[in-house]
């Protein structure tokens, strides 16, 4: 096996482990009955894994892990509608987070907060496409605020994890 193919195999294995970690976080969130009093609001525990992948493997790795997470958790705990909502939110939020990261002007917590808000915007786009009712959009400000708050929480968690194991991750990626 050449060095490049060994490196690609190692990267694939690590992304698989990170996808499994994101799925596990989604399962834990599924088991814990978070009730914020408003339907559709979740903490988004698996998103801290996506942030870590974005910061260590870049956009392609984060997109791969995110898509695997949405599809597997959708099949295990949801249905086709939940997968459609999840895909829209995951892809839109990841694109926004990658663009903000690329500018170099935003900290991890700010990027995560924007990701949380845009995740909910992506889901609202799907909801409006399925049920084009104007009153549905009145719910959007509440979802954006919830996304910002949960995004800050997830960003803090990801920052703590990256500060503690970031150097270890860089060593693993280099070897």
What is the total count of domains within the chain? 1
Residue 18 to residue 26: CA distance in whole angstroms:
12
Integer-rounded Cα Rg, in Å, for the chain is 16
Long-range pairs, 36-41, Cβ under 8 A, ≥24: 36/146, 38/142, 38/146, 40/120, 40/123, 40/143, 41/143, 41/146, 41/150
Domain that holds residue 73: 3-174
CATH of the domain at 155: 1.10.1760.20
- Two structure tokens written together for 56: 């260590």
Full pLDDT tens readout for the chain, 175 residues:
576 776 788 889 889 999 999 999 988 888 887 766 666 677 888 999 999 999 989 999 999 999 999 999 999 888 888 899 999 999 999 999 999 999 999 999 999 999 999 999 999 999 888 888 877 788 889 999 999 999 999 999 999 988 888 677 666 666 5
């Amino acid at each position: 096996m050449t060095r490049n193919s060994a490196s690609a195999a190692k990267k694939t294995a690590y992304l698989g482990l990170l996808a499994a970690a994101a799925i596990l976080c989604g399962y834990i969130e599924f088991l814990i009955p978070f009730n914020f009093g408003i339907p559709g609001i979740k903490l988004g525990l698996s998103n801290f894994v996506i942030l870590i992948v974005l910061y260590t493997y870049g956009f392609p790795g984060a997109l791969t892990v995110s898509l695997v997470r949405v599809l597997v958790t959708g099949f295990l705990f949801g249905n086709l509608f939940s997968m459609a909502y999840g895909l829209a939110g995951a892809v839109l939020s990841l694109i926004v987070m990658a663009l903000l990261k690329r500018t170099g002007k935003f900290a991890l917590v700010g990027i995560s907060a924007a990701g949380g808000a845009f995740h909910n915007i992506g889901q609202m786009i799907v909801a409006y496409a399925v049920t084009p009712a104007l009153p549905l959009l009145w719910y959007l400000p509440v979802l954006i605020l919830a996304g910002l708050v949960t995004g800050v929480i997830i960003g803090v968690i990801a920052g703590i994890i990256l500060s503690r194991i970031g150097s270890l991750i860089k060593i693993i990626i280099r070897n």
